[in-house]
């Protein structure tokens, strides 16, 4: 017995510490786990503990990912909720590890991200036990909204209401009771129908009592580069509860509220971009700082989205060009 105890002591003494999840050199919070990335097996293992998969996509040097980890995943309530209800697995948007999806196919991380149409970092996908994506968190959500998004999966609400409906019920905090105005917003009547050769259209959806909406107006819309980029667009703004009538880019009559529901807008502010045929070509569903916000308008107006379907690649190329030309690059200011 003493020999057995001695052997066990040696084994435990030399056993490596649990591997912390990483993206590049960035070590993620301990709540994230390392697996073999065989997701059907991971989902089955999680289900045994009443948990579901949470898939996180990030990349090296992503300021929003850093904000998510430093602001959201440092709050005990969020960490505890995540650990209690989820098996969180991290992926590098441009990584090469092999991932097995529920269709049985093996893809590299970057091909996996393309397959799931991941356009932003961070992006978090909430899955049910069968691997169905029941909610998609595109970009950075402030803590109270992020926690509410997790609650949608934790409480198995997908059978009762859509994710967009759930998020619309989340109260905003510390913000204006009225919508902000801008001189470049389209005035009624709201005929948004497009025709060949017309400007592209950007449609902003907001709500009252929305702190990120206020910040967008106070910072994003005050920057010269943003205003220059916006000048290439027709810009319409609606409240998610708006009753005003409008004509959609493809020529249909509806109300602002009904259209927001049809577009499945789940976060405010959101911006949906349409080309001159009335087709949606891109959307923002996240809190964006001025550099990224202005770049999204450039991404659409330049037609870059046709050649480069990944917005993050577009941003990387733009940032590299700015550095090479000696232009100051401020991602978070």
Q: What is the per-residue pLDDT for 20?
A: 60
Q: Per-residue pLDDT for 4 more than 60?
A: no
Q: Per-residue pLDDT for 276 more than 70?
A: yes
Please state the rounded mean pLDDT for residues 163-172.
89
Q: What is the per-residue pLDDT for 282?
A: 97
Q: Which long-range contacts (CB under 8 A, 24 or more apart) does 312-318 make?
A: 312/59, 312/93, 312/119, 312/120, 312/121
Q: What is the per-residue pLDDT for 116?
A: 97
CATH architecture assigned to 190-324 = 3-Layer(aba) Sandwich (3.40)
Check for a shared fold between 20-166 and 190-324: yes
Q: What is the per-residue pLDDT for 310?
A: 92
Burial class of residue 61, CB neighbours in 10 A (0-12, 13-18, 19+): middle
Cα(230)–Cα(10) distance, integer angstroms: 66
- Per-residue pLDDT reduced to its tens digit, 126-158: 999 999 999 999 999 988 999 999 999 999 999
What count of Cα atoms within 13 Å lies in the side-chain half-sphere of residue 85?
Answer: 19
Q: What is the per-residue pLDDT for 100?
A: 98
Q: What is the per-residue pLDDT for 2?
A: 41
Please state the rounded mean pLDDT for residues 264-289.
91
Mean pLDDT of the chain: 89
pLDDT band at 17 (very low <50, low <70, confident <90, very high): very low
Higher-confidence position of 203 and 289: 203
Cα(295)–Cα(125) distance, integer angstroms: 24
Please state the rounded mean pLDDT for residues 202-229.
91
- Please state which CATH number belongs to domain 20-166: 3.40.30.10
Cα(213)–Cα(211) distance, integer angstroms: 5
Sketch the domain layout of the chain as residue ranges. 20-166, 190-324
Q: What is the per-residue pLDDT for 288?
A: 80
Cα(245)–Cα(255) distance, integer angstroms: 4
């Amino acid at each position: 017995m003493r020999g057995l105890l001695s052997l066990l002591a040696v084994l435990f003494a030399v056993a490596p510490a649990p591997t912390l999840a990483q993206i590049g050199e960035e070590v993620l919070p301990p709540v994230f786990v390392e697996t073999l990335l065989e997701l059907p097996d991971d989902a089955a293992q999680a289900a045994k503990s009443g948990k579901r998969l949470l898939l996180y996509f990030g990349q090296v040097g992503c300021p929003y990912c850093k904000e998510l980890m430093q602001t959201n995943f440092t709050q005990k309530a969020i960490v505890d909720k995540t650990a209690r209800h989820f098996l969180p697995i991290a992926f590098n948007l441009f990584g090469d590890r092999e991932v097995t999806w529920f269709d049985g196919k093996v893809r590299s991380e970057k091909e996996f991200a393309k397959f799931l149409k991941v356009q932003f970092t961070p992006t978090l996908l909430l899955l049910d036990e069968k691997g169905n994506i029941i909610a998609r968190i595109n970009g950075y959500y402030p803590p109270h909204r992020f926690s509410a998004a997790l609650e949608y999966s934790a409480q198995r609400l997908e059978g009762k209401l859509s994710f967009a409906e759930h998020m619309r019920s989340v109260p905003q905090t510390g913000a204006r009771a009225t919508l902000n105005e801008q001189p470049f917003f389209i005035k009624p009547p709201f005929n948004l129908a497009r025709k060949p050769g017309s400007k592209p259209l950007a449609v902003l959806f907001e709500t009252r009592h929305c702190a990120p909406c206020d910040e967008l107006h106070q910072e994003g819309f005050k920057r010269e580069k943003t205003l220059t980029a916006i000048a290439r667009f027709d810009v319409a703004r609606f409240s998610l509860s708006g009753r005003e009538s409008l004509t959609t880019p493809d020529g249909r009559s509806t109300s602002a509220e009904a259209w927001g529901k049809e577009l499945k807008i789940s976060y405010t502010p959101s911006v949906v971009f349409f080309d001159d045929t009335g087709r949606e070509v891109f959307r923002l569903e996240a809190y964006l700082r001025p550099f990224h916000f202005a770049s999204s308008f450039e991404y659409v107006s330049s037609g870059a989205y046709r050649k480069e379907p990944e917005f993050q690649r577009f941003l990387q190329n733009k940032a590299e060009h700015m550095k090479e030309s000696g232009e100051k690059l401020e991602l978070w200011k």
